[in-house]
Amino acid sequence: MKDKLLWLYFAVVLVADQISKKLALESLAEGRPVSIVEGLFNLTLVYNPGAAFGMFAGLPDTQRRITLLFVAFLALLAVFYMLRDAKGDRISQVALVGILGGAIGNIIDRFRFDAVVDFLDFYWGSYHWPAFNIADSAICLGVAVLMFRMLFPAKSSEAIGLN
């Protein structure tokens, strides 16, 4: 039963990501912000041809595609490897499945648009955090949880009531 819940979380991340991107594509014009919370949050459609924070975006198209495909492949291998080793650690499993759902959501975009669809735009004054999406959020949250688990390992998941 517990594995079913993990894969349900994976599906929720992936479906929420793809539906939110579909809605953004249907209702936003590229690069034209729609204010949601004045001075803090806009919806702004952006196509990110690179990786996180636009890394590799400046590479020539073929080199960028090959680099990002290789990086995505390595990342997926790493996640599956860590999932295999995370037996009994429910917190890490949830984090890894969230990362997996987010990564696959962004990979789908790369195949569809040769870029990732971003639209969540947080800012303060003239400082804008790079636009992102639900997949990016799931990936970052998952990585943060894994880092926290490495820095502060629990004696066992049972000790904190998660098994």
Positions of E strands within the chain: 34-37, 41-48, 116-124, 127-128
Is 17 among the residues known to form the active site?
no
**Residue pair 121/42 in contact by the 8 Å Cβ criterion:** yes
Task: Point out the catalytic residue in the list 17, 89, 109, 118.
Answer: 118
Q: What are phi and psi for residue 114, nearest 5 degrees? A: 60, 25
* CA distances for 37 relative to 96, 120, 127, 150, angstroms: 32, 12, 15, 36
Is 118 among the residues known to form the active site?
yes
d(CA 119, CA 59): 23
d(CA 119, CA 160): 36
Beta-strand relationship, 116-124 and 127-128 = antiparallel
Task: Point out the catalytic residue in the list 17, 109, 121, 136.
Answer: 136
d(CA 71, CA 11): 23
Known catalytic residues are 118, 136
